[in-house]
Amino acid sequence: MAIYKTEGIILKHYNLREADRILTIYTKDYGKISAVAKGVRRSRSKLRGATQPLTYADLVLYQGKSMDTVTQCEIKEMFVALREDLYRWAYAVYMVELLDAMVPERQPQERVFVRFLTALHLVATLEEPETGALFFTVDLLGLLGYQPVLHRCASCHGSPKQEGGWVLSGSLGGLLCPDCAPLDPQGYRLAGGEIAVWRRLLELEIRLLPRLKISPILRKRLFQSLGYYLRYQLERRLKSVAFLQHLSLLEGDKKNPPKEN
Ligand SMILES: [Zn+2]
């Protein structure tokens, strides 16, 4: 049995027996793993604080027959700004659920790990955290091989001559022009402008993201079209999306009523 070290971000946990907890961790070197943290729910456990969801930590694990055990967990970052703001926290929880749903166990992808970490920082610090979450969603689809065709019609390969009537199709893997739109009656009818933002996010260097301004209405439209596309890929709806929509109705619109521009 081997002991191994890595760094990782705790995605979620659930309680096991009296004092133990099963953690799902996205690690830099091994991808997504499940591991047990023993005795962690006892008040004197050293692992207790470090195994909370959305903690970035140095980990030492012991390889077990059926499941590995976390033996040491040292906090590198707790993302306090996320924990202190319900709006930011909700977007971080959405990114966790998205990552957890999209990546298989034990398939390391260091670029995904680095991007996830960067995205958590963005959602913790950007004036508009939703932009960080949108950036991560767009980026993750590309990194994991789910990038839809966005520069031309996925069926006839025609370029956009007009704005209206285009559809995003999950089954055909991208945009459909007004002529080809009937090929996917379940396709998502675009409201306008959201694909331009999607493309902009794909091309943008991360360091420029804090300066990017996306109007609330376009953020909402992009979030909705990504939601459609993710539902198609995952064959289910992410639970956190409903909560985000609820929050945005309560907070986002009150602060920034959507305006056309
Ligand atoms: Zn077409």
- pLDDT exceeds 60 at position 255: no
In contact, 68 and 106? CB cutoff 8 Å: no
User: In degrees, to the nearest 5, what angle opens at C-alpha 154 toward C-alphas 153 and 156?
Assistant: 65
What is the whole-number distance in angstroms between the Cα of residue 194 and the centre of ligand 1? 19
In the prediction, which pLDDT does 138 show? 97
Distance between CA atoms of residues 229 and 232, nearest Å:
5
Residue 36, CA distances (Å) to 7, 45, 67, 104 in order: 16, 14, 7, 18
User: In degrees, to the nearest 5, what angle opens at C-alpha 30 toward C-alphas 240 and 123?
Assistant: 35
The third-level CATH classification (topology) of the domain covering 3-78 is OB fold (Dihydrolipoamide Acetyltransferase, E2P) (2.40.50)
Distance between CA atoms of residues 246 and 36, nearest Å:
34
Question: Whose CA is closest to 220, among 133, 116, 103, 113?
Answer: 133
Phi and psi angles of residue 189, each rounded to the nearest 5 degrees, phi first: -75, 115
What is the whole-number distance in angstroms between the Cα of residue 170 and the centre of ligand 1? 15
What is the whole-number distance in angstroms between the Cα of residue 169 and the centre of ligand 1? 12
- Which class for 127: exposed (0-12), middle (13-18), buried (19 or more C-beta within 10 A)? exposed
Q: What average pLDDT does the chain have?
A: 91
**Six-digit token string for 46:** 């050293």
Domain boundaries, the chain: 3-78, 81-255
In the prediction, which pLDDT does 164 show? 81
By the CB criterion, residues less than 5 angstroms from ion ligand 1 are 153, 155-156, 158, 177, 180
CATH number of 81-255: 3.30.950.10, 1.20.1440.120, 3.40.50.720, 1.20.1560.10? 1.20.1440.120
What is the whole-number distance in angstroms between the Cα of residue 165 and the centre of ligand 1? 11
Residues 6+ apart with CB under 8 A from 199: 150, 151
What is the whole-number distance in angstroms between the Cα of residue 12 and the centre of ligand 1? 42
What is the whole-number distance in angstroms between the Cα of residue 211 and the centre of ligand 1? 34
What is the whole-number distance in angstroms between the Cα of residue 207 and the centre of ligand 1? 35
107-148 tens-digit pLDDT: 999 999 999 999 999 999 999 999 999 999 999 999 999 999
In the prediction, which pLDDT does 241 show? 86
At 88 the three-state DSSP class reads: helix
Task: Taking residues 1-21, report their average pLDDT.
Answer: 92
Residue with tokens 């961790």: 25
In the prediction, which pLDDT does 1 show? 54
What is the whole-number distance in angstroms between the Cα of residue 182 and the centre of ligand 1? 10
In the prediction, which pLDDT does 253 show? 47
Distance between CA atoms of residues 230 and 226, nearest Å:
6
What is the whole-number distance in angstroms between the Cα of residue 195 and the centre of ligand 1? 16
In contact, 193 and 160? CB cutoff 8 Å: no
H or E element at residue 62: strand 56-62
What is the whole-number distance in angstroms between the Cα of residue 164 and the centre of ligand 1? 13
Backbone φ/ψ region at 17: left (φ over 0), alpha (ψ -120 to 50), beta: left
